[in-house]
Structure 1
Amino acid sequence: MKTITFIGNGNMALSIAQGLKKNYKIEVVGRSLEKLKKFEEKLGVEIEKHIMDGFHMQDKTVLLCVKPANVQEVSKLLQGQARVIFSVLAGTSLEKLRTNFNTQAVVRTMPNLAASVNRSMTTLTGDINFQEEAKELLGAIGSTRWLSSEKEIDIATGLAGSGPAYLALIAEALTDGAVKQGLKRDDAMAIMRGLFGGFGELIQDIHPALLKDGVMSPGGTTAAGYGALEDGNVRSACMDAIEQAYKRAKEL
């Protein structure tokens, strides 16, 4: 079984490890042995645990999951040349990764938290020789899409990477709206979850505009609610969210 070495043990690392643990041996490198033990407990399988200071990554396949601001600090603690680094760091360029880390190759990846249930939408770009390996590795946690430039992956970060937070806001708001009108909270939550589950299947094959038109009958309930969303500039706000996330990715 192939070993994947995680540098970092935060929420994203845990989500990806949850998706990989059945098919890969997991090795995690962090600053605190106590936190590494907690990581292992949450993951539910035995892992190899290493302290970051002085860790040798010679010829290893590395998943870099530290905070973007800590790149220089972390790189100084590691030794040896990695075989390849798959980075999940938002807005951290290939050039910066190659400058700070000793590695034969680098691939930028942007998974999302759905990795923990093998449903991540992960975008990829970087050393083309590792395209297929990147697709296979990250394909273990969901769907993948190889992009042709770093600009595109920074844009995709605002869509797929940050998207779960946006959808969570919408899910919560719709549920609150139903409760406001008199629906019990448990019933509203169950209905919302069923809605998102079914919609997730439909959107795979049907354009969003066609889905909307199929539901919205003239003068009906959907038309009334849709009009309220347009009055609230929801469409514009969603587009602005992608723009602001892309700008932030470039700043990082």
Structure 2
Amino acid sequence: MKTITFIGNGNMALSIAQGLKNTYKIEVVGRDLTKLEKFEKALGVPTEKALMDDFNIEGKQIILCVKPYNIEEVSKKFIGKAEVIYSVLAGSTVEKLRNNFNTGAVVRTMPNLAASVHHSMTTMTGDASYKDQATEIFSAIGPTVWLGSEKELDIATGLAGSGPAYLALISEALTDGAVKQGLKRDDAMEIMRGLFGGFGKLIQDIHPALLKDGVMSPGGTTAAGYGALEKGNVRNACMDAIESAYKRATELS
């Protein structure tokens, strides 16, 4: 069984490791042995554990899960040359990663919160020779898309990476709207969850415009509600959200 090494032991590292633990031997590197032991307990399988200082990365496949602002500090703690680094760090370019880490290849990836339930939409770019391997690894936590440039990855970060927060806002607002009209909170929450579960399956095969047209009867309830959303400029606000997130990603770069 191949070994994959996680540098960092936070929630994203744990989520990815959960998807890989049956096909890879998990090695995790961090600053605090107690936290590494908690990581192993949460993962539910034995791991190789090591502290960062003078850790030898020679020939290793690494998933880098530290905070982006810690790159310079963390990179100084290792010796040797990694085979490949898969980074989940927002805004950290391939060039920056190469300048700080001794590695043969770099792949940038952007999983999202749904990695914790193995349904992340993960976007990737970098050394194309590792495209197939990256796809195999990150498919363990959900669907993946390989993109042709870092600009595209930064745009996709605003969509897939940040998207769960946008959808959480919409789901909360729709639930609050139902409560405002007199529906019990628990019932509203249950209905909202069922709505999103069904929509998630429908959108896999139906274009959003066709899905909308299929629900909107002339002069009906959906048309009335949809008109209110358009009046509130929801469509433009969503487009602006992607633009703002993309601009922030480029600033972080």
Q: Same fold (TM over 0.5)?
A: yes
Deviating above 3 A after TM superposition, structure 1's stretches of 4 or more consecutive aligned residues are: none
> Please, what is the CA RMSD of the aligned residues?
1.1
Q: Distance in 2 between matches of 1:172 and 1:24?
A: 38
Q: Distance in 2 between matches of 1:200 and 1:221?
A: 22
Alpha-carbon distance, 1:43 to partner: 2.2
Alpha-carbon distance, 1:40 to partner: 2.1
Please list, as runs of the form range in 1=range in 2, the aligned pairs for 1:136-151 lying within 5 A after superposition. Answer: 136-151=136-151
Q: In the TM superposition, what whole-angstrom CA distance separates every residue of 1:201-229 from its partner, at most 9, and x where no partner exists?
A: 11011000111111111111111111111
Alpha-carbon distance, 1:46 to partner: 2.3
Which TM-score applies when normalising by structure 1? 0.97
1:107 is aligned to 107
Alignment of 1:98 onto 2:98: yes
Structure 2: state its 5+ residue gaps. none
Alignment of 1:40 onto 2:40: yes
Q: In the TM superposition, what whole-angstrom CA distance separates every residue of 1:122-165 from its partner, at most 9, and x where no partner exists?
A: 11111111111011111111111111111000000001111111
What SS is found at the alignment partner of 1:140? Answer: helix
Q: In the TM superposition, what whole-angstrom CA distance separates every residue of 1:163-212 from its partner, at most 9, and x where no partner exists?
A: 11111111111112112222122211111111111111110110001111
2:234 is aligned to 234
Which TM-score applies when normalising by structure 2? 0.96
Structure 2 letter corresponding to 1:61? Q
What SS is found at the alignment partner of 1:217? Answer: coil
Alpha-carbon distance, 1:38 to partner: 2.1
2:10 is aligned to 10
1:70 is aligned to 70
Q: Distance in 1 between matches of 2:177 and 2:18?
A: 33
1:164 is aligned to 164
Contact 1:19 1:117 in 2 (8 A): no
2:84 is aligned to 84
Structure 2 letter corresponding to 1:128? A
Structure 1: state its 5+ residue gaps. none
**How many percent identity over aligned positions?**
77
Larger mean CA deviation between 206-215 and 1-10 belongs to: 1-10
Contact 1:56 1:80 in 2 (8 A): yes
